Chain A
Amino acid sequence: MNVIRIENVSKTYRRRYQRGEYGTLKTAVANLFRSSDRHPSDKTSLMALKNISFDVKRGQFMGIIGKNGSGKSTLLKILAGVLKPDNGRIEVQGRVAALLELGAGFHPDFTGRENIFINGSIFGLTRQQIKEKFDEIVDFAELSEFIDSPVRTYSSGMYMRLAFSVATHVDADILLIDEVLAVGDGAFVRKCEDRMRKFKEQNKTIILVTHDMGAVERWCDDAVLLIDGNMICKDKALRAIERYVRQTGLLPEGVAPEDLTRLQQTMGFKAKPGDQCVRLAWVNPPLKDYMATKIVRRTDRYPIHHEDGTPVYWFNGTECVDGSLTNGQPYYYGIFAHDKQYQYLPPVLAEATPLPEAELIRLTTTEKLTADTTVSVTQIKIDSIQMVNGKDTPTTLFTTGERMNIQIPYSLDLSRPSKATVTLRILRDDGFCVYETDTHAEAVEIPSTATQGILNFEMKSLPLLSGDYFLEIQSADDPADIPDQPVSRYSFSVKSSALEKGIIRPDHQWKLEIERPGSTPRTSSSQE
């Protein structure tokens, strides 16, 4: 049974109100003579919601996701009846409790006690009913000491606790929550979760607006994705999250490649008994089996899930934008975790890999970890590589025929024997493999006596013609493991002054031999 039905709801804000300019009689009179101003045009209005339609069933836990300014809060305010839509119809059956914003609905000068009574009466409870619930509300909010202080003296956490406590104790049928849980401490948020679970068990409806994709994934059955006021989809929560992450791009919080090691240390993931270690490989061309969603921030967690929508792994990672390595394309470091219950647990596996944006992940191997093993996938680890030109300057732009040296710093865990191998691959920008080699095939031994070193791959004269290329590096403890190892991918460009075509420029010389009647053959040569 649908308790909320929204049909073709649109909402336009007039910008002059947005700027906080209030109308005066003067402008009102002036506008009477300028009829065109009375209709919001593109310049003076902002369309916050465009023809939104969806239903919410009784007992459903629905998320609303989208970037800042995508219309989420406007939609929630319309559901709460605080704002009225310009067009469309809204039907809401049952009593609604809303937590719209921090401190919303509280009068700052009133005490917590007075605000509880006022809020309770807004929900339509009698004084007697509020009195009966009063202690419970205060207990839940953990505010008994401060209940007779004006709420303006409260911290944001206290505000939130009081608001949440009131909203969930007034016997509403529908609970609307807008991002307020973010200010609560961990313990209280867990209490809220319990409370919401109880709410759901009572077959009540909850609508949650949030940026916390983990929360949406954990709690919501379905989610609505809004982008710029348009409803992109209403789908199972995971699917909606995936769309969100794919469509909205990234938040600007990146970590430089050299911070990777530090990042791994600070995250300090350790495996627990029963956890599974997952090795992932990037494949090109993409396989369909498993998909990775884009990673936004270090602390954000996004699910990697199977095609049918079941979450399989958590990806916990961080974006890295470094134009020198990737031509300005963002790529990602990630830490993958898996637990069989699909619960919100700390990630377990630390394996960082730059992830090219459009590529998908193929699950290659899984292995059980033993207790308290710090995850270490391979003995050899490669830090971020560097490409230098003839002048030993790091660059990603080379000229045909110039010296190019690829420096591959590595560290080696000497505790176990290994036949460490490094594979190097050059690909054209469409993925065509131009060249591949590895240290094992060329009998280059990485000595198992030093823990660190730099492997140099030097081309005295770069044989590539102009174009964009990828450099791929893989490392493994045994040559046979190479195909299973993650690929680090970097990009570089080559310029060429000559009007030659193709991919490579073989080292060559033109020689011309002309035979004239009655004379000895003369040789002319040309170079370049």
Chain B
Amino acid sequence: MNIIQDIREIYQYRQLLGSLVARHLKERYRGSVLGFLWTLMSPLLLMLVYSLVFSVYVRIEMQNYAIFLFCGLLPWLWFAQSLTEGTNSIVMGGSLVTKSMFPARVLPTVCVIAAGFNYLVSLPILAVFLIVAGIHVHPITWVVVPIVILIQFILTEGLVLMASALNVFYRDIQHLLNNLITLWFFVTPILYPVKMVPEKYQWILVANPMSSLIGVYQDVLFNGQMPDWLALGKVGIIAVAILAAGFWVFDRHKDRFAEIL
């Protein structure tokens, strides 16, 4: 099947991916004093801002709201960062794409992996919060979190491949996407628990694969309960379908990247 070949090709370039991801991470904080610490600082500050707004101004009655928020915010940041950076990656690829035999699909993948790396290193902070607050995570966490991470990676990769390829032809995509991500953030239950969503808008949660993924984090880490396996299974299938679609769109367009850029 095509998708397996595509995955194999990415695997083939793992060394290249490795150097580019390292490069990408180093580049981001070059010249800053705190450097890599920003990877941890940014989500913390964001969490502070949102906690301030939603527990002081707009009051959401919930114990440990900041930690609840953090559970959903971290995976969301991985998703959002991958998408914004990844969409531009081909266009920004310059002569690597236009004048060398560079495997173009590596570029968006680098963005997803680099953002994922940031996510992984910020997980220990979440762990510290959970321990300090005395929240008992469900033992299934050790099994579920890797699965969720994998599914999120597949989903994000699929979307980024699609968006980055189309963005070469229609630069509107990147602008559209930036606004769409903001909207997407607010319709995903990150700042508020699922039960606060009015009945008539529940369909948005069903249609939004990110809400199921984030819901799983919140269930196992914050609520200490079993995840919604059915929802997770559905998202898994959707993610694979989106990845296949992403490869399909990308492969259809990649031959003309060099010509158009």
Segment of A75-83, A190-198, A263-271, A293-301 in the binding face: A75-83
Segment of A16-24, A57-65, A252-260, A491-499 in the binding face: A16-24
Residues in B neighbouring A108, C-beta threshold 8 A: 94
B15 touches A24 (CB 8 A): no
Residues of B16-42 contacting chain A, CB below 8 A: 16, 18-20, 23, 27
A82 touches B15 (CB 8 A): no
The answer, yes or no, to whether B13 is at the interface (CB within 8 Å) is yes
Segment of A113-121, A351-359, A411-419, A461-469 in the binding face: A113-121
Residues in B neighbouring A25, C-beta threshold 8 A: 170, 172
The answer, yes or no, to whether A460 is at the interface (CB within 8 Å) is no
B101 touches A118 (CB 8 A): no
B169 touches A105 (CB 8 A): no
Bound-state Cα–Cα, A124 to B95, Å: 19
A126 touches B15 (CB 8 A): yes
B170 touches A24 (CB 8 A): yes
Cβ 8 A contact of B99, one of A26, A96, A105, A117: A105
Cβ 8 A contact of B23, one of A100, A114, A125: A114
Residues in B neighbouring A106, C-beta threshold 8 A: 95-96
Decide yes or no: A122 and B102 within 8 Å by CB, A105-B96, A107-B94, A107-B96 being known contacts: yes
A121 touches B171 (CB 8 A): no
Bound-state Cα–Cα, A101 to B102, Å: 14
The binding surface of chain B is classed by DSSP as: helix
Closest to B30 in A: A109
Decide yes or no: A28 and B170 within 8 Å by CB, A81-B101, A82-B99, A110-B23 being known contacts: yes
B207 to chain A, nearest CB (A): 23
The answer, yes or no, to whether B182 is at the interface (CB within 8 Å) is no
Residues in A neighbouring B16, C-beta threshold 8 A: 118, 121-122
Contact with A along B80-102 (1 / 0, CB 8 A): 00000000000000111011111
Closest to B171 in A: A22
Residues of A73-113 contacting chain B, CB below 8 A: 77, 80-84, 96, 98, 100-101, 103-110
The answer, yes or no, to whether A127 is at the interface (CB within 8 Å) is yes
The answer, yes or no, to whether A146 is at the interface (CB within 8 Å) is no
The answer, yes or no, to whether A13 is at the interface (CB within 8 Å) is yes
Residues of B161-189 contacting chain A, CB below 8 A: 169-172
B225 to chain A, nearest CB (A): 44
Bound-state Cα–Cα, A105 to B258, Å: 12
A273 to chain B, nearest CB (A): 48
A98 touches B170 (CB 8 A): no
Bound-state Cα–Cα, A526 to B128, Å: 126
Residues in A neighbouring B13, C-beta threshold 8 A: 121-122
Cβ 8 A contact of A24, one of B18, B20, B171: B171
The answer, yes or no, to whether B136 is at the interface (CB within 8 Å) is no
A83 touches B170 (CB 8 A): no
A104 touches B170 (CB 8 A): no
A106 to chain B, nearest CB (A): 7
Residues in B neighbouring A83, C-beta threshold 8 A: 255, 258-259
Residues of B94-124 contacting chain A, CB below 8 A: 94-96, 98-103
Decide yes or no: A103 and B95 within 8 Å by CB, A81-B101, A83-B259, A96-B101 being known contacts: yes
Residues in A neighbouring B99, C-beta threshold 8 A: 77, 82, 100-101, 104-105
A17 touches B259 (CB 8 A): yes
B residues contacting the other copy or chain, number (CB 8 A): 27
B108 to chain A, nearest CB (A): 16
The answer, yes or no, to whether B4 is at the interface (CB within 8 Å) is no
Residues in B neighbouring A81, C-beta threshold 8 A: 101
Closest to A107 in B: B96
Interface centre among B12, B102, B171, B259 (most CB of A within 10 A): B259
The answer, yes or no, to whether B260 is at the interface (CB within 8 Å) is yes
Closest to B14 in A: A121
The answer, yes or no, to whether B8 is at the interface (CB within 8 Å) is no
The answer, yes or no, to whether B256 is at the interface (CB within 8 Å) is yes
Closest to B95 in A: A104
A104 touches B100 (CB 8 A): yes
A114 to chain B, nearest CB (A): 6
A96 to chain B, nearest CB (A): 7
Residues in A neighbouring B255, C-beta threshold 8 A: 83-84
Bound-state Cα–Cα, A149 to B234, Å: 49
A77 touches B95 (CB 8 A): no
B193 to chain A, nearest CB (A): 37
Bound-state Cα–Cα, A119 to B172, Å: 31
Bound-state Cα–Cα, A490 to B257, Å: 55
Bound-state Cα–Cα, A345 to B259, Å: 41
A118 touches B258 (CB 8 A): no
Residues in A neighbouring B260, C-beta threshold 8 A: 17, 22
Decide yes or no: A117 and B19 within 8 Å by CB, A17-B259, A98-B100, A104-B99 being known contacts: yes
Chain A residues in the interface with B (C-beta under 8 A): 13-14, 17, 22-26, 28, 77, 80-84, 96, 98, 100-101, 103-110, 114, 117-119, 121-122, 124-127
Chain B residues in the interface with A (C-beta under 8 A): 12-13, 15-16, 18-20, 23, 27, 94-96, 98-103, 169-172, 255-256, 258-260
21 interchain pairs, CB-CB under 8 A: A17-B260, A22-B169, A23-B169, A24-B170, A24-B171, A25-B170, A77-B258, A82-B99, A82-B100, A98-B100, A98-B101, A104-B95, A107-B96, A114-B19, A118-B16, A118-B23, A121-B15, A121-B19, A124-B12, A126-B15, A127-B18
| Beyond A22-B170, A82-B99, A105-B102, 13 additional pairs, beta carbon < 8 A | A13-B259, A23-B169, A77-B99, A83-B258, A84-B256, A96-B101, A104-B98, A105-B99, A107-B94, A114-B19, A118-B20, A122-B16, A127-B19
Q: Which 9 A-B pairs have the closest CB atoms?
A: A105-B100, A104-B99, A121-B16, A84-B255, A121-B15, A100-B99, A25-B172, A104-B95, A82-B258
